[in-house]
Chains A and B, each alone.
Chain A
Amino acid sequence: MTGTTELDTLKDELLGQIAAAKDLAQLEAVRVAALGKKGRIAEQMSKLATLPPDQRKAFGAANNAVKEAVTQSLEARKTDLEAAALEARLESERADVTLPVRAGPEALGRIHPVSQVFDECVEIFADLGFDVAEGPDIETDDMNFTKLNIPAEHPARQEHDTFYFPAKPDGSRLLLRTHTSPVQIRTMESRKPPIRIIAPGRVYRCDSDQTHTPMFHQIEGLVIDETTHMGHLKWVLEEFCKAFFEVSDVKMRFRASHFPFTEPSMEVDIGAEAIGKPGQWLEILGCGMVHPNVLRNCGLDPEKYQGFAFGMGLDRLTMLKYGVPDLRAFFSADLRWLRHYGFSVLDVPTLGGGLSS
């Protein structure tokens, strides 16, 4: 059986060539030489016609078997060579993944601590039904003092260290508001009770030293209706302090005091354990029941309406809660300070998710 021996030899030769192919191009050359129209297998097939009829069937089958074996071997070898080629490419595609990437804008930007603390206060007071009211910085004497029961020549006016603007031809002088309390007046003059507002904003005093800046932030609260009393005031402030300092209990001390626009008036201290410094009292705000004269000045009948007001320093609250040491740095726009004490844009205070976490 010369024919089949020859086929075996061819098969071994082709399989050897396939195994020896070093890359896909060589393999393709092997494939064309073996399986092409004029390839070795076709060449063998062409001998079929010269064989005697009784040998043809067997020869054809044997030839096909060789073709099948070569085809399979080619496929297998191709898969291997492709995998090797990919390996080789990937090997060459190495990035230095230790190179630093940019942090991105959201990591660079900051919210000023006072803005953040204001947002925190809004969250708390919104839950208690307080709106946010606003008013201008440049005020009249009437709004900043007279309507708040601080008549001209009242010593309390002098204590305020007011910034004034030059007198107008009619003798009146505008001023920079010394507290956010004029917003109380504006609110009571423009709205009917029940009123629950907070009024945040910049205030100004002609004073500058280690702990005072000529501009700072206050947040004022006002509730006016027919029944709100000092007990409610105490409760609101206690609830606020617990929520704001994010503690389950805050020690509070209410001391009688005097402000022209409230009667009775109180100053409030909190136990400093709320900020992790036990054993001290910290004065945080002044408050009281709105003075009947103030109600009257806003066209409200003090026999019918009553309520409370309180005012605190937003900057001071910020300093206490977040351990910021120096008030003056709040307004220096020092990038290092702002990056250190400022808040990420993603730190949106909510009651559900926590004010500071």
Chain B
Amino acid sequence: MKFTLSWLKDHLKTKATVEEISTKLSAIGLEVESVEDPAAKLGAFRVARIVEAKRHPNADKLQVVQVEVEKGQPLFEVVCGAPNARAGMISVFAPLGTYIPGSKITLEKKPVRGVVSNGMMCSAAELELAEDSEGILDLPAELAEQVGARYIDVAGLNDPVFEVKLTPNRPDCTGVRGIARDLAAAGLGTLKDEKTISGVEGSFDNPVAVKLDFANGTEDACPVFAARLVKGVSNGPSPEWLQNRLKAVGLRPINALVDVTNYISQDRGRPLHVYDADKLKGAVRARLGKGGETFQGLDGKEHTVDETMCVIADDSGPLGLGGIIGGEASGSTETTTNVLIESAYFDPLRTAATGRKTGLVTDARYRFERGVDPESVLPGLDLATQMILKLCGGKPSKATVAGRVPDTKRAIVFELARVEKLSGLSLPADEIKTILETLGCVLVGGGETLEVTPPSWRPDIHGSADLVEEVVRIAGIDRVPATALPRMSGVSRAVLTDKQKRARRARRLLAARGLVEAVTWSFLPKDQADAFGTGATLVELANPISVDLAVMRPSLLPGLLTAVERNRNRGFADVALFELGQAYRGDKPEDQYLAAAGVRAGTAGVSGGGRHWDGKAQAVSVFDAKADAAAVLVALGIDAGKAQVTRDAPAWYHPGRSGTLRLGPKTVLAHFGELHPRTLAGLDVEGPVVGFEVFLDALPPEKKKGRAKAPFAQSDLLPVRRDFAFVLDRGVNAGDVVRAALGADKALISGVSVFDVFEGGALAAEGKKSVAIEVTLQPTSETLTDKDIEAISQKVIADVKKATGGEIRS
């Protein structure tokens, strides 16, 4: 919404500066997007009189002129190249130091062909008031009285333009008067009275029939439609003041009839339409469109209407879309002599829907979709009639009104105490009442509770909270005292849930293991989502922003893997990334799951990637991924020793170099492994890359223990360590050996580690391998005798053999 200062002053009596108005508008909810102040650009230019003009002594095409810049003050000597400069001429002078916008220079004191010029006489182009100029501005002689005055004041150019970004709840401020009303309420002046309109009600009936033609239940599309004919107008360009106003706010003057409607729309937020009555066929009807109907709009384009749109039609078909755009065929032109003025009310929701469907952005839609003041139908018609009579002459008919102005009157019971309760701002009752009344509310009753009837132009006010908002924004939000929120407890208590704490811990743990946290898109290209789907339904967007961001990710891995490749393409091949975030197995809330996933590529192992003098640059392996996954589980309170490792990782992992960490058959804690070469190829990612996914929602809750730690079981007895090497079939899992050994004596065996695995040599030929373990015995009550140790050793050997078929290696 744009308006100029002088336009605002048509409605508001104020001495406020541009700056004050601008600040206040933003404070009360009418956010100022820009203010164009001509004074900032052209304030230095003055009306001046050339007293004497002589040929420049050293140049044929230049003159040296003596200029009166201030009445009764010494003259300025100025060098001037304009052919039209002459003695006695009134023109515009710029003193030294002035920035000339048209030529983008700042005037300096320097000689021009040997004569010092103390300023400059200016052309319209130099002031950016015209594209180009023949010579300096040649002002009317009577302006001699105004020598010394600012040119912009004399020329009526000093009219700052405000642009306000309106929120959708303020239809009243789509007119300058509404803005003036808000400013007046906020103490920046007084709202001027409306001028009374007279002499517009004609003596003859409107010959054009106006009808509302709606099926039951759709009448609200256009509940009232008023029209009046003005006979014998002479249309043509509108007067300069009107054209200037429209141009100042970015509207193109068309002709007087159309300009009147645009002016009232901008001035009052009341859109109107003018038809050339001679081009209408039969009655004018407001009705819903019919499939297949089209019309040529004033925008020069053909528009197709449908059954949801409100159209204005005559016997020939639709003329335009009600509340949005008029039609070419029935529009007013310079030759129009009989004009039908339309003033109606169109339903905001239907107007908005039609606007979206057609993509038409018009000044009428901007207003009707916010909700034009329904009570302005007849006053608007009269105002337009009056302006047309004044500008174009003619004879008005009686007004025709089809339908009825919808009754939007509603009274709100308003306790004045509500203001302080909701806002914390204590205001005297009189101030509250004054604000509401200045905004147009009608107040009934006294005391602490009022009955407030909001004005017809404020469809957004429905209840007490709305009234509090009006009072507080106008009184000033800066007056609301900041008030400490009472503390819930003396020392603040912990607030995170167990799951939130785990997420936080997992994030820091992974970063501590050298992985860099990434945040990647929640949506993926479809083929990537397909490759990581586990049979669950993919959740596909109906209106993705691009095919690359089209399907909700079923896993965090594809986003990380493609990031690996992008980094490789930038010259970083040894990448370790992780993400902690949500992925989707379906579209229900419980289908969204939280995972901590990571990838390591190239040589980016836990101690860092790349070559180093201290050791070989080793490619990442499944065990890097397993270590990451296990570390997350341990950090989150899961005993990794209790988790089983199974070989059934999903299809995007290498079938032989991957695994699943699980608790029992149902609870999958994590997957880890080398990524399947085919999966990587599908993503255009170069291997080897390993990855892991830990499912944070699947972890069993941490058992609530007391704060005190379990007693420390201290033993002074030295632990005893014994080594065993077993020859096993190659397919036997080392994990089974470890588990069997641990189980051989649960009381005494405190740990089993695998310190050697050998698959080469003669064993390979037999399909065997050797696994060597170290078993730690921790005596608790007395030192173990050789006999005790021997007995346990035999038990370990026997149990391992039983579980795995492995023979002790002699």
Residues of A with Cβ closer than 8 Å to B? 99-106, 108-112, 114-115, 119, 122, 125-132, 134-138, 153-156, 158-159, 163-167, 173-174, 176, 196, 202, 204, 206-208, 214-215, 223, 227-232, 234-236, 238, 254-258, 263-267, 289, 291-292, 302, 306, 330-336, 338-339, 342, 344-345, 348
A-B contacts, 8 of them at CB < 8 A, read: A109-B513, A128-B487, A131-B495, A167-B542, A231-B424, A234-B480, A256-B27, A256-B473
Of B421, B425, B541, B566, the contact of A333 (CB 8 Å cutoff):
B566
Pair A130/B495 contact, Cβ less than 8 Å: yes
Pair A334/B570 contact, Cβ less than 8 Å: yes
| Chain B residues positioned under 8 Å from A108 (CB to CB) | 514, 516, 576, 608
Give the docked Cα–Cα distance between A254 and B523 (Å): 36
- Measured CB to CB, the closest approach of chain A to B339, in angstroms, equals 32
B478 within 8 A of A: yes
Give the docked Cα–Cα distance between A336 and B484 (Å): 43
Besides A105-B514, A258-B168, 5 more A-B contacts (Cβ < 8 Å) are A132-B495, A132-B497, A163-B544, A333-B519, A345-B511
Binary A-proximity of B578-593 (CB < 8 A = 1, otherwise 0): 0011101001110110
Give the docked Cα–Cα distance between A100 and B543 (Å): 53
Give the docked Cα–Cα distance between A176 and B542 (Å): 11
Give the docked Cα–Cα distance between A244 and B567 (Å): 32
Pair A232/B483 contact, Cβ less than 8 Å: yes
| Chain B residues positioned under 8 Å from A257 (CB to CB) | 29, 31, 167
Pair B483/A229 contact, Cβ less than 8 Å: yes
B337 within 8 A of A: no
| Chain B residues positioned under 8 Å from A114 (CB to CB) | 519
Residue of A nearest to B517 (CB): A112
Residue of B nearest to A306 (CB): B422
| Chain A residues positioned under 8 Å from B477 (CB to CB) | 230, 254-256, 266
Pair A215/B521 contact, Cβ less than 8 Å: yes
Give the docked Cα–Cα distance between A265 and B566 (Å): 44
Residue of B nearest to A133 (CB): B497
* Shortest Cβ-Cβ A-B pairs, 9 listed: A231-B424, A105-B514, A256-B29, A129-B488, A264-B469, A109-B511, A333-B563, A231-B483, A256-B473
| Chain B residues positioned under 8 Å from A345 (CB to CB) | 508, 511-512
Give the docked Cα–Cα distance between A187 and B215 (Å): 44
B507 within 8 A of A: yes
Give the docked Cα–Cα distance between A295 and B208 (Å): 51
B510 within 8 A of A: yes
Of B27, B425, B507, B584, the contact of A115 (CB 8 Å cutoff):
B507
Pair B589/A335 contact, Cβ less than 8 Å: no
- Measured CB to CB, the closest approach of chain A to B111, in angstroms, equals 40
- Measured CB to CB, the closest approach of chain A to B690, in angstroms, equals 16
Of A122, A163, A231, the contact of B480 (CB 8 Å cutoff):
A231
Give the docked Cα–Cα distance between A164 and B168 (Å): 23
Give the docked Cα–Cα distance between A158 and B543 (Å): 14
Binary A-proximity of B422-466 (CB < 8 A = 1, otherwise 0): 111100000000000000000000000000000000001001111
- Measured CB to CB, the closest approach of chain A to B181, in angstroms, equals 15
| Chain B residues positioned under 8 Å from A333 (CB to CB) | 518-520, 559-560, 563, 566-567, 577
| Chain A residues positioned under 8 Å from B481 (CB to CB) | 231, 234
| Chain A residues positioned under 8 Å from B497 (CB to CB) | 132
Give the docked Cα–Cα distance between A265 and B571 (Å): 49
| Chain B residues positioned under 8 Å from A164 (CB to CB) | 541-543
- Measured CB to CB, the closest approach of chain B to A2, in angstroms, equals 65
| Chain A residues positioned under 8 Å from B708 (CB to CB) | none
Pair B422/A166 contact, Cβ less than 8 Å: no
- Measured CB to CB, the closest approach of chain B to A11, in angstroms, equals 53
Give the docked Cα–Cα distance between A302 and B472 (Å): 19
Pair A255/B485 contact, Cβ less than 8 Å: no
Pair A229/B423 contact, Cβ less than 8 Å: yes
| Chain A residues positioned under 8 Å from B575 (CB to CB) | 335
Pair A232/B424 contact, Cβ less than 8 Å: yes
Give the docked Cα–Cα distance between A115 and B500 (Å): 12
Given contacts A103-B608, A234-B480, A257-B31, is CB(A110)–CB(B549) below 8 Å?
no
Main secondary structure of the interface of A (DSSP, over half): mixed
- Which of B507, B515, B545 has the most chain A CB within a 10 Å cutoff? B545
Pair B508/A111 contact, Cβ less than 8 Å: yes
| Chain B residues positioned under 8 Å from A306 (CB to CB) | 421-422
| Chain B residues positioned under 8 Å from A99 (CB to CB) | 613
Residue of B nearest to A254 (CB): B477
Give the docked Cα–Cα distance between A166 and B520 (Å): 24
Residue of B nearest to A130 (CB): B495
- Measured CB to CB, the closest approach of chain A to B343, in angstroms, equals 23
| Chain B residues positioned under 8 Å from A112 (CB to CB) | 517-519
- Measured CB to CB, the closest approach of chain A to B112, in angstroms, equals 39
Chain A binder among B56-64, B349-357, B722-730:
B349-357
Pair A136/B592 contact, Cβ less than 8 Å: yes
| Chain B residues positioned under 8 Å from A227 (CB to CB) | 421
| Chain A residues positioned under 8 Å from B478 (CB to CB) | 254
| Chain A residues positioned under 8 Å from B31 (CB to CB) | 255, 257, 267
B492 within 8 A of A: yes
- Measured CB to CB, the closest approach of chain B to A154, in angstroms, equals 8
Pair B516/A230 contact, Cβ less than 8 Å: no
| Chain A residues positioned under 8 Å from B167 (CB to CB) | 257-258
Pair A109/B516 contact, Cβ less than 8 Å: yes
Pair B511/A331 contact, Cβ less than 8 Å: no
Give the docked Cα–Cα distance between A163 and B483 (Å): 39
Residue of B nearest to A186 (CB): B589
| Chain B residues positioned under 8 Å from A339 (CB to CB) | 516
Give the docked Cα–Cα distance between A306 and B606 (Å): 52
Pair B513/A265 contact, Cβ less than 8 Å: no
| Chain A residues positioned under 8 Å from B483 (CB to CB) | 229, 231-232, 234-235
Give the docked Cα–Cα distance between A114 and B488 (Å): 28
Pair B567/A334 contact, Cβ less than 8 Å: yes
Given contacts A156-B168, A235-B483, A335-B572, is CB(A230)–CB(B422) below 8 Å?
yes
Pair B522/A234 contact, Cβ less than 8 Å: no
Pair B539/A138 contact, Cβ less than 8 Å: yes
| Chain B residues positioned under 8 Å from A102 (CB to CB) | 607-608, 612, 614
B26 within 8 A of A: yes
| Chain B residues positioned under 8 Å from A344 (CB to CB) | 511
Give the docked Cα–Cα distance between A127 and B489 (Å): 9
| Chain A residues positioned under 8 Å from B607 (CB to CB) | 102, 104-105
Residue of B nearest to A303 (CB): B464
- Measured CB to CB, the closest approach of chain B to A68, in angstroms, equals 45
| Interface residues in B602-622 (C-beta closer than 8 Å to A) | 606-608, 612-614
Give the docked Cα–Cα distance between A115 and B464 (Å): 40
Give the docked Cα–Cα distance between A234 and B484 (Å): 9
Give the docked Cα–Cα distance between A204 and B481 (Å): 35
Give the docked Cα–Cα distance between A144 and B589 (Å): 14
Pair A111/B423 contact, Cβ less than 8 Å: no
Give the docked Cα–Cα distance between A119 and B507 (Å): 11
- Which of A100, A108, A202 has the most chain B CB within a 10 Å cutoff? A108
| Chain A residues positioned under 8 Å from B563 (CB to CB) | 332-333
| Chain A residues positioned under 8 Å from B484 (CB to CB) | 232, 235
B270 within 8 A of A: no
B496 within 8 A of A: yes
| Chain B residues positioned under 8 Å from A109 (CB to CB) | 510-517, 576
Pair B567/A330 contact, Cβ less than 8 Å: no
B110 within 8 A of A: no
Pair A223/B485 contact, Cβ less than 8 Å: yes
Residue of B nearest to A155 (CB): B168
| Chain A residues positioned under 8 Å from B520 (CB to CB) | 331, 333
Pair B512/A235 contact, Cβ less than 8 Å: no
B784 within 8 A of A: no
B246 within 8 A of A: no
Pair A163/B541 contact, Cβ less than 8 Å: yes
Pair A126/B495 contact, Cβ less than 8 Å: yes
| Chain A residues positioned under 8 Å from B28 (CB to CB) | 256
Pair B512/A105 contact, Cβ less than 8 Å: yes
- Measured CB to CB, the closest approach of chain B to A125, in angstroms, equals 8
Binary A-proximity of B13-36 (CB < 8 A = 1, otherwise 0): 000000000000011110100000
Pair B592/A137 contact, Cβ less than 8 Å: yes
Residue of B nearest to A167 (CB): B542
